[in-house]
Structures are given as C-alpha cells and as structure tokens.
Structure 1
C-alpha cells in the first residue's frame, strides 16, 4: 500500500489569485502602518493633559437612543464588522482559489494556526489559575493581527521569500476564523432569538442573491447593514455577521484575466482600503488609549491575568505555531517548499505574538468595566511590542543570511 505523498507548501497560486493577493498585501501593510500611528496617537492623547477629552470621545453616544451606541462600541461592533467581512472574503478566496482549496495541501499553516491558538490558551490558564474571573480571558492571547504583522514584515524583511509571506497570510486567515468562532461561542450574552432569526434570514437572503449572480452593491449594502444591526441587538457579537456575509460573497469562478471582477473581488477592492485605512486604525485609536503610569505597569506584572496574556502571546504563540508546523512535517502531512526554512518559520512564529486588534477586542468583551480592563489592554500592547521587536531582530538576521546565500549562489554561476 503506497504512502500518501506529503503536500508541499506553498501551492502555486493562479495568476488571478496571485494578483489579488499582492493587492491585498500592499493595502494591509499600509493599513498596519496607519494603525501603528493611531495607536501612538491614542497613547499620547490618553497620557496628556487632554485625557478627559479622550475619555469623553470614546464614551460619546450617537444615533437613535434605543440603539445605545457609543464611539467605542461602534468601533468594536461596527467598524470591526467590516474588518471581519474582509476576513470572510479572504477565507472564501483561499477556499476557492488559494492555499485552502485542498485542506490536505494546506496542513502546514492550518496546524500551525491551531497550535498557535491552543498553546497560548494553555499558558494563560496555567499562569492565571486560581484567580477570580481568569476563565473569561483565556482567548485573549490566541489571536494574530495580520495588518500589524504584515507591516512589521514589510519594514524589516521587504524581500522575504513569497512562500514565507503566504505562510503568514494563510496562518492569519485560519487564526481569524478560529477567533470569530470563539467570539460567537464564548462571548455572546443575553441572546434574543427573535432578532437573531431575523439576522439569520437576512444573511441567507444575501447568500441566495449571491448564488443567483446579482451584482448591484445597492442591493447588498442595505441587507448587510440590516443583518449587522439585528445581529448587534440579538446579543451575538456583530462581527459574526461580517464574517458570515464575507464567506457568502461570490468569488471569481476561474483565472480568466479578462473576466469582470467577481462580487468578492469588487467588495475587497472597495472595502479593504476602508477597513485597513479607517476601520482598524479608528478601533486602535479608541481601544489603545490607556493612561500609562509606573503604578499601572506594576499592576500589570503583579496581575496574573495580565501576565498570562503577555506570556501567552510572546511564548505561547511562538511555541504553538512552531510546534504545529513541526507536527505537520514530522507526521508527513506537509513538507517545506522552496523558500521556506525553519529559522524563517521561527521568526514568523514570534511575529504571530502580535495580537493587537482581535486580542484587544476579546479583552474588551471579557473584562470591560472591571479592574482588569486597563491591565489587559496594557498587557496586549506590551506583548505585541515585544513580539514585534524580537521578530524584527530575527528578520534582520535572516535578511543577512539570505543575502549571503544569494551572493554565494551568484558566485557559483
């Protein structure tokens, strides 16, 4: 009986998928830099003489009184719904034309992503064991921020092998899917099943129109907004609606360069710059503004919940991603293709510890209004900074190694 041949990662993408992927990577990289700038502004504003204005800004209510929507809630439930809609589009595209078209051929980043969720959660639970309310925050260190990570990768390793960038992107897509599943299952409260049924019906209608080939955004936009609103009021986090709608958006059927943009391509082209350049930076602006002080930093390192978040992101992500990839190769499910080396994967595994956007979101869902809120936010910022700095050092070292290998290869010719 012949043994199944291990799949080589990455697969060779179609021309159309490769073009769309390159456009997405450019946008996310620029968006990541804008998000970093927004984070710095938030920290400066929250630690300035105008910090009361910052608090008033984040807590300002607008819209109908029955909707009870503050700027902070709009950023996490509304703007991030667009971010997760893009994540849904990415996942659908990967399933249709990318690395996830055949799951067996994508087990390297898939198992790496699964390991990168399980290990941080275990480390967090071990560090915070016995602390009241610790169980609410186990998912905080399980997320990877793709925009932040791509920005660091672009700045520090601009000529990195395409296979490495594909590994990071696929890992982050799977990570986003796991994160939104966790949010839906563990961070939904006070469910209103009537409103949820209406939201589900609207999502189904959206999917049916996509299958029938309807292309007008003027039809989809009202349905999408209504689905978001009913989901928000139903008790399910509204970002779930974003992912569901993204997954149901029709992708390109083939690799014909002359074909009109598919619905998924058009939505990605229009909404990704809005998500990367406005939605995520505004979320960072209203979420990252903690009043840093020696006393708060001292509390962070004395609070085992915050420590669990830091160690989960820095140590757990590194160990989990690398272990998941090793298991995939060791068990014969996958093998590294040209351009992928274990030391490169180790640097990406450290970069995966940049949790930021989704980690801040889950932290807010878990501890909003409690004594742990600011400590957890600060912990996510500290961990993301440390992970990005260590990954930067690793990438700069790998840049020199790749340059030397390229020089030796050229000399051999």
Structure 2
C-alpha cells in the first residue's frame, strides 16, 4: 500500500519538473526564433494573416483570431499546470513549511513590487502606463529553469528549490494581476455558470470521481463561462488546478494533481507555450524599432523594470528578510549564488508577453514586446555567465562566502 506523499519527496518531483521545463524552454526559444524570422522575412504578411485569421462560433463570443486562441485557449492549459504546481507546493511541497518558504515568498514579493514601482516611475504620465507597469512583474519559469539546468549543474539543490518556489509565488502574483487589472467588463450570468462549474468540479474531486469524460466537458464549460464573464480565460485554468486534489488516498498510487501534471506538463511546456510564443513574439525588428525601445517611456519602463527591478527586488528583499531574521538563507547557498538566481528572475517572457498584449495596443504592444524579448535575452545570458562561475566554485567545494 502506498503512503501519502511527504514534503521531502518534492526533490524527485522537482527533478522531473525541471527536465520537462528545460526541454520546454528550448522549444520555446526555437518557437520565438521562428516567429521573429518569419515576421521579418518576405513571408511576413503570411505570418500576420495566419495570426489574425478568425475562427470559432460567434454565438458563444468565440469568433477569435488564431493569436487570441493561443493566448486565451492554449495558455489556459499552461495556467492549469501552474495551478496544479501551486496547489501541490502549498499543500505538500516546499511552500507548505512557512519557515522554509519565507525566503522565496519574500523574494518573490520584492521581485514583483520593485519592478512595478520602477516601471511606474520611468513611465509616469505616459498613456498606457496605468496597466503597462504590470508587464515586468512576471518571471518565466520555463526559461529560468532551463538556464539553471544548463549552466548551474553543480549548484546545491537549495538553489533549484529557491528558484522554483519563487517562480510559483511569482506566478500567483501574475494571476492576481491578470484577474484584477484586466477585467474590463463583468457578465454576472456567465460568472455564475463558471462558479457552479467550479463547485461541481470540486465536488467530483471530493467524491473521488476519476472519469475524464466528465472532467473534460466540464472544464470546457468553465473556460467558456469565464471567457464570457469578462475575466481573462486563463483564470479558469488556474481555478481548476487549485481545486484538484493533491493528497493521495490510502492505496492510491498518486494523487490526481500529480497524475495530471505528469500527463499535461509536456503538452503545456512543449506545445501550448511555444505556440503562444510563435504568435506573440513575431514583431517587426529594425534599427529604428530597436532604437525606439530605448527612447519610448513605456518600453524603457518595461526594460528597466525587468533588468534592474527584478534583480534589486529579489536580492534586496532576500537580504532584508535575512537581516531581520524573518527568513534564513540556506547554509549551502551564498549571496553570490542568490545574485545569479535573482538575475534569472528578470527573464519575463511568456507571462510578460501575455500582459503586454492585454495592457497595450497599436505600436506600443510591439515596443513592449521588444523590450521583454531584449530584457529576457540579456538576463538569460548574464545569468548563464554568473551561474557557470558559481557552478565552478561549488564544484571545488567552496561556496565562496558566508551564508549569513
């Protein structure tokens, strides 16, 4: 008879998660490169025609462009997996122990508040900044974990646990921002249908119903209802993930949340997110457009918010938490390790691109996306260099500086 999964079993699950996200990060990078090359080639008009082609039933308000289907539909799968991971971490993982979770939670909060404050300061008074400040708040877990896996192989396990926990809390913050900031209208009837559907899902989970042919149509109804309510449709995925059972029953090999993660995470990391990137990252690149990134207040706010705000926010909040004894730095990690991990937090990408599309329109969207791509590229390369150096230090068995 199998025993319930304990928090210390999170290490093996994290290793599996890391392998999937590393592969997904590589696929995501390839999809982004294809999008940029396609959009700036002689076939650029074909790219835009495919992205803007509309399909779907008008009666359900689902006559959407291909790009919108990728943003609202495929990313719901990504956020469902995020919801599953968040629920698992909160109940049986690293975030279930408040003492162990204190450092990444505080670091994530600093990594959201400081970039938002910097973006607001840089873009103050500019049209669009009232929502664009949220763009540099997000961290892309696939890219960040991918870079860590490729360049930080000799870092202690605490580094990986810290980054995953930080990214999970960061995702929760981005979810709240999307739900609150980008709900322009509200359809009470549709919202009521969504609540009833979610309640039925929770009841079926409580009753240990495992029939996929019930859950799939129910999830589709919830998604359509949330989309029609005016709340961004990806919130449906998060809500369903958070309502999924994470503790296995006696005699049960694995809980539904873990089973669904195993089955859906490859589709999320290998298909849903890359397809979204394919239609979101295809912006026109030229000397003038790159120059505009550094001169336009909105794009500059995004760039500085990610590259400066994330590093200062994560590292500064961590230092403050440790100095005030609110949290403790793991004994195997030094401050230089945490600095390298903080640079990884500046890789915004997927969720930042999503928020850019929700927050802005016209030329500002492309400028903000260019800033996200540029900041993510600089952060990835900088973090890779730092992590390689730290990995060599740890390979010699010397962290390099006292942890306190």
Normalization by structure 2: what TM-score?
A: 0.94
1:259 paired to 2:223: no
State the partner residue of 1:238: 233
Deviation at 1:404, TM superposition (A): 2.4
Does the Cα contact within 8 Å between 2:154 and 2:394 map onto a contact in 1? no
Runs of 5+ unmatched residues, structure 2 = none
1:180 paired to 2:172: no
State the partner residue of 2:86: 91
Does the Cα contact within 8 Å between 2:154 and 2:395 map onto a contact in 1? no
State the partner residue of 2:215: 220
1:292-316: per-residue Cα shift (whole Å, max 9, x none)? Answer: 0011111111101100000000000
Deviation at 1:349, TM superposition (A): 0.4
Q: 1:13 to 1:210 in 2, by over 3 A?
A: closer
Does the Cα contact within 8 Å between 1:252 and 1:265 map onto a contact in 2? no
1:290 paired to 2:283: yes
Does the Cα contact within 8 Å between 1:144 and 1:353 map onto a contact in 2? yes
Separation in 1 of the partners of 2:248 and 2:90? 12
Separation in 2 of the partners of 1:212 and 1:222? 18
Separation in 2 of the partners of 1:407 and 1:183? 39
1:161 paired to 2:188: no
Pick aligned residue for 2:323 from 322, 330, 347: 330
1:403 paired to 2:398: no
Separation in 2 of the partners of 1:13 and 1:374? 45
Pick aligned residue for 1:384 from 361, 376, 380: 376
1:62 paired to 2:62: no
Deviation at 1:15, TM superposition (A): 5.2
Normalization by structure 1: what TM-score?
A: 0.92
Separation in 1 of the partners of 2:101 and 2:384? 26
Q: 1:32 to 1:13 in 2, by over 3 A?
A: farther
1:366 paired to 2:347: no
Does the Cα contact within 8 Å between 2:248 and 2:256 map onto a contact in 1? no
Deviation at 1:13, TM superposition (A): 6.4
Pick aligned residue for 2:337 from 337, 344, 355: 344
1:243-290: per-residue Cα shift (whole Å, max 9, x none)? Answer: 110000000247xx9732211011111110000000000011000011
Deviates more, 1:102-111 or 1:179-188: 102-111
State the partner residue of 2:196: 201
Pick aligned residue for 2:186 from 177, 191, 200: 191
Deviation at 1:119, TM superposition (A): 0.2
Separation in 1 of the partners of 2:313 and 2:188? 37
Runs of 5+ unmatched residues, structure 1 = 1-11, 409-413
What is the number of equivalent residue pairs in this alignment?
394
1:162-218: per-residue Cα shift (whole Å, max 9, x none)? Answer: 100000000000000010001001111121111111011101111111111112222
Separation in 1 of the partners of 2:8 and 2:325? 29
Aligned alpha-carbon RMSD (Å): 1.8
- Off by >6 Å, runs of 4+ in structure 1: none
